[in-house]
Structure 1
Amino acid sequence: MNIHILSLFPEMFAGVFNTSILKKAQEKNEVVLNVLNFRDFSGNKHHQVDDYPYGGGAGMVLKPEPLFNAVESLTTNTEQKRRIILLCPQGERFSQQKAEELSQEEELIFICGHYEGYDERIREHLITDEISLGDFVLTGGELAAMTIVDSVVRLLPNVLGNAESHEKDSFSTGLLEHPHYTRPVEYRGYKVPDVLLSGNHAEIEKWRREQSLKRTAERRPELLETAELTDRDKQVLRVLKSYHK
């Protein structure tokens, strides 16, 4: 996968992209991360990328020319699949399902905005997606881009040490993930549940599913409305609901 970031502050990405899983993914040639300063594509001697909004109002608006020019410099192969993603508060709220969808692409281009907003022609004629991290406003799109890239890259083949590591992550199954325990068996009087020490894998998986359902019901009950639930899952939830009455 090729991932390009268009930003006015490319130096922000060095620490994140050269550490941990993202660094290893690049070393394994599973992803190429490329950060460009779209100010270099402004086309004017002052490298201006923003201007006052027509009609008046507060703040500055990003001009279309730098971003169109920057994207066109990256897309010499018109046959290659690509998603051009605008990061903004008005976009679709990011989710694990969106991360899984984007991980199937060959090329992603993220546009990190600043100032008051974007010239509307960028939205109408350049991008394929608008994504938001949530109902709040950041100074720019850089932190959102880092978050989304990390979420997507860890889903690529061979990036995580265990190919199944992400399959039961919170939200991947539509539920929150079950609790985890490791050594020692007892710490300060707190013991690991007996079922996890039993060696009975069927019972362990049953316990983990029940715990996942319980945790979701307690912390994020709205997720249960869209989760794929078996008859047994529904029975477990009925017992939980009865217990908490």
Structure 2
Amino acid sequence: MGSDGNAYARGDNTYSWLGDGTTTQRITPNIVRKPAGVPTDFTYVQVSAGKWHSLALGSDGYVYAWGSNQHGQLGNNTATNSSVPVRVRDPASPTDPNKGLKAIQVSAGDDHSLALDSNGYAYAWGENIYGQLGDGTTDDSNVPVSVLFNLQPVITAAKFDTGPGTNLAPVSNSNSITVLTPAHQPGAVTVSVDYAMGGAGQVLTDKSLTYLYLPAGVLPRAGGEGILLALATGMTGMGGVLASRRHRRERHRLLHTSHE
């Protein structure tokens, strides 16, 4: 990377690894070409050299690649080598050449590529014979695929309508937490549960749960201030499974559609 915003490359160029539009070997740094169709003020902000190809992140936020493409490591939905940087395709629209993958960091392996986007999601493309794309297969991919992480959702907060639950505490040897309900008028309320995959990264909110507060004179007591509510998490969903107070107990199922 140069202070002028250009990327420079040197060395062997048999498979257009230098990105200068040629296959000429260079013993001094040579400017990597700018991708076609970018603004005149376009610059490179990060580069990563693999064994057979290279990656770069542009000032427009898109990922670019050049060099050998035998296993689809350029991510442009082809297996054709490129002597100049080409835009890596958008995972959501892999057949549209006008769209691309936006990222904040890139890394080139031997014959595969990795990128991290601003939401914390990882993408991979290229050779996958040893599972290096992390998508649960061993199939090569010439467009980015999501890297799969087997992470449990961890609850970080719960609200009952606008009233926050208190005393959140993990339940030992389980994927659950307990929370004390706030005071509320009788009736059904929406339970908003904040959680993060693996307990880190982007915080998500689920609002599909409901909880029923019953009048104080109704037994068994299924709602009210100080009810100890257990919220359980799972790989595809979470739901409340138990409400209790003192020695009175009632099973109270909170329905929830599964997460993608």
Looking at secondary structure, tell me which structure has more strand per residue.
Answer: 2
TM-score bucket of the superposed structures, by smaller chain: under 0.3
Looking at secondary structure, tell me which structure has more helix per residue.
Answer: 1
Structure with max Cα Rg: 2
Give the TM-score normalised by structure 1.
Answer: 0.27
Give the TM-score normalised by structure 2.
Answer: 0.26
